[in-house]
Amino acid sequence: MHKKLKIALSISSILLIAAFSFFVVSRVINNNVPEAVKGKDVDFVLDSSAYNNILSGNFRNSLDLTTIKNSRKLNLKESDELNMSDRQLNIHSDYKKNPIIPKSLYVVSQDSMTPSERTMIASLQGLVNDKSSYQIYTLSTAHPDYKIWLEDLKNNYNVSYKVLSEPWQLLDIYKDYIDGYVLYSSKISDDPSINNACSLAALNKAIVVDEAIEAKVLDKGITKLKGDCRNTDESWAYDNLWNKGLNHSVVIQLSPQIDAPLRDYAIMSKSLVFYENSKDKTILRDRVFSSMEYNSICLGWGPDEFINVSTASKHGVSVVAADWSYNLSTLSAFPSMPVDKKPLLEVPKGENYHYVTFMMSDGDNQQWNLGSNYSNSKWYGHPNRDKLNLCWTMSPSLYYLAPTVLNLYHKSMNSGSANNSFIVSPSGNGYMYPSKFKRSKLNMYIDTLSDYMEKVNERYIAIIDDGAFNNIKLWNKFTEKSSIKGLFYLDFNRHDEYQGKILWSNNKPIVSCRDLLWDNLQNEEELIEKINNRVKMGQVNASSPDAYTFVYVHVWTKSVSNVEEVINRLKQNPRVKIVAPEMFMELIEKNVDR
């Protein structure tokens, strides 16, 4: 055939295919509009799976398109749209994000639902939220801060919302999205069938239905049974579904007794949901964690802390306490944002003082930061919090999965008169024990951590490990990164095990916890007496490690009011200075003899 004719036919074919694709995409978009909003003038984004199937990856992925399409709503500069891949696609994170920024939300209260209804609605939320810009959001009086995040979306991100009094309405609104349902049983509280049903539903565009409400679901016209997970054991989903389309970078560890939290994200992200209901038996966890990719995360919590985190660490997986987290399928849709941080105050020359810093515990607990920490007067919501030099640890998971929430935290942190600050929570990207972490995966873990710290302008990390404080070779792997300026060390056995000892790694301080503010371990009187006695003993030479005290505050037994009481009484001693953690570390780095 003549060369020019070949070219002409090829061009014609391309144009024909393009026109057909546009037609199909248009139909797909229309079909993915909830019935309640069809026919209205709505700026919809493409359904990611339909887009990828039609265009076969030849164009930028749906997250790019969605981010760019919605960038004007977020008031980003036009020029910023061209540079989003590095800043907002989080190429160094393996978290799965919702690719569609919501335009509007249907809001339902969990308080008015039965446990079975909460599970069903969470599964529907996970099914639809990454396929429509009209999404689902839930509220609960037990977790009041989600109302704050909702109002923030409305006021600062142009997301409208409508409250529905009847959650079953959502099945009518989103019926076109539901291909069927997967059955489970809740007759026995720890029946693993609920987890297996969530894993199966994620792969079948299905909702998860307790047998107790199956009849009502059938009455709603949802009649196709996609699977029956009743009478399945705790390893069933891993044995049968792991290599059938589930992602291998995030898994969900969730007790069957937990009805709704985290299940929306599990289904949206196509994550394995599992729970090994034994403290000592780790056969299933070993199988799951050893099958995961590099840089993997386990969201949720196990039957205990030490064995669970040790098992995950052994396979190079870190754990994020998230088993009571809600709405991640909505909150993860927003682009992660770099953090502008107020500059550190000029570090004074070390003088004859005893320097004390206070660190609030449990910032690795994602669900606490999302659910009640922000507004509660016991903790971050304390009215004088911004007047105290406190250290708050913060889970990096919020940067990826709830960036608008993290943005609010940072805005409030930077508005105070005192030098409050965030540092990275134990032990980096997630909770792990560095000395037990799989060696072949540690470098990538630290690379990801360093990348995160640069983006949020955090300089220090809290580390929890098991008798590893003196392992300088291990800490060198962290401190060789320019973004990591030092480590606060807490031992698992007892956080103040090493009594304030300071080591040096690449000329950066590794500072161990010296004291606790923790019920039944050390109270306010004991702490104040100890610090004042150190001053009496002459521990006020800034060049000596003895002149520094790092106090760890257990937030479940002590509040900011307790810390404030200690600070006010210590201020009566003219030789005691309370400083924020960054200033504390800078003073050590600048003054302490090596």
CATH of residue 473: 3.20.20.490
On whether both 133 and 47 belong to a single domain, the answer is no
Q: 131, 53, 59, 74: which is closest to 99 by C-alpha?
A: 131
Per-residue pLDDT of the chain (594 residues; tens, 9 = 90+): 443 333 343 444 444 444 444 444 443 333 345 544 443 333 333 333 332 332 222 222 333 333 323 332 333 333 233 233 333 333 356 899 999 999 999 999 999 999 999 999 999 999 999 999 999 999 999 999 999 999 999 999 999 999 999 999 999 999 999 999 999 999 999 999 999 999 999 999 999 999 999 999 999 999 999 999 999 999 999 999 999 999 999 999 999 999 999 999 999 999 999 999 999 999 999 999 999 999 999 999 999 999 999 999 999 999 999 999 999 999 999 999 888 766 666 777 768 899 999 999 999 999 999 999 999 999 999 999 988 889 999 999 999 999 999 999 999 887 655 577 899 999 999 999 999 999 999 999 999 999 999 999 999 999 999 999 999 999 999 999 999 999 999 999 999 999 999 999 999 999 999 999 999 999 999 999 999 999 999 999 999 999 999 999 999 999 999 999 999 999 999 999 999 999 999 999 999 998
What amino acid is encoded at 525 in this protein? E
Looking at residue 216, its pLDDT comes to 98
Residue 244 forms part of a structural domain:
yes
Output the CA torsion sign for 488, 493, 498, 499. positive
On whether both 83 and 109 belong to a single domain, the answer is no
- Phi then psi dihedrals of residue 127, to 5 deg: -70, -40
Q: Which pairing describes strands 515-517 and 548-553: parallel, antiparallel, or unpaired?
A: parallel
Output the CA torsion sign for 61, 160, 396, 96. negative
Residue 63 forms part of a structural domain:
yes
* Alpha helices in 98-231, H assignment, sequence order: 115-128, 145-157, 169-173, 193-202, 214-219
On whether both 140 and 36 belong to a single domain, the answer is no
What amino acid is encoded at 144 in this protein? P
Domain boundary among 61, 88, 115: 88
Inter-helix orientation angle 48-55/3-31, to 10°: 170
Which tokens go with 551?
């106090």
On whether both 203 and 232 belong to a single domain, the answer is yes
On whether both 35 and 170 belong to a single domain, the answer is no
Classify residue 436 by burial, with Cβ atoms within 10 Å: 0-12, 13-18, 19+: middle
On whether both 406 and 491 belong to a single domain, the answer is yes
Domain boundary among 26, 58, 88: 88
On whether both 450 and 400 belong to a single domain, the answer is yes
| Structural domain for 444, as ranges | 354-591
d(CA 149, CA 152): 5
Cis peptide before 427 (omega within 30 of 0): yes
Looking at residue 51, its pLDDT comes to 29
3-state secondary structure of 574: coil
Residue 6 forms part of a structural domain:
no
Beta-carbon contacts of residue 293 (< 8 Å; ≥ 6 apart): 94, 248, 249
577: which strand partners?
355
Looking at residue 63, its pLDDT comes to 34
d(CA 413, CA 339): 11
DSSP string for residues in 240-279: HHTTTT--SSEEEE--TT--STTHHHHHHTT-EEE----S
> Quick check: 297 and 320 in contact, CB under 8 A?
yes
423: which strand partners?
393
Residue 532 forms part of a structural domain:
yes
> Quick check: 388 and 560 in contact, CB under 8 A?
yes
Q: Largest alpha-carbon pair distance within the chain?
A: 98
Residue 341 forms part of a structural domain:
no
Domain boundary among 88, 123, 141: 88
Which tokens go with 578?
């309370």
On whether both 60 and 207 belong to a single domain, the answer is no
Quote the strand ranges of 291-447, DSSP E. 296-300, 317-320, 354-360, 390-394, 421-424
On whether both 29 and 134 belong to a single domain, the answer is no
Residue 96 forms part of a structural domain:
no
On whether both 221 and 145 belong to a single domain, the answer is yes
On whether both 325 and 358 belong to a single domain, the answer is no
Scan for tokens 């339902």, then name that residue: 108
Residue 576 forms part of a structural domain:
yes
- Phi then psi dihedrals of residue 156, to 5 deg: -120, -10
d(CA 298, CA 285): 10
On whether both 21 and 120 belong to a single domain, the answer is no
Q: 6, 65, 33, 220: which is closest to 131 by C-alpha?
A: 33
Note if the pTM is more than 0.75: yes
Residue 316 forms part of a structural domain:
yes
Quote the strand ranges of 395-526, DSSP E. 421-424, 460-465, 486-491, 502-505, 508-512, 515-517
d(CA 51, CA 78): 24
Q: 333, 278, 274: which is closest to 299 by C-alpha?
A: 274
How many distinct structural domains can be found in the chain?
A: 3
Q: Cα dist. 571→532, 565, 567 in Å?
A: 10, 10, 6
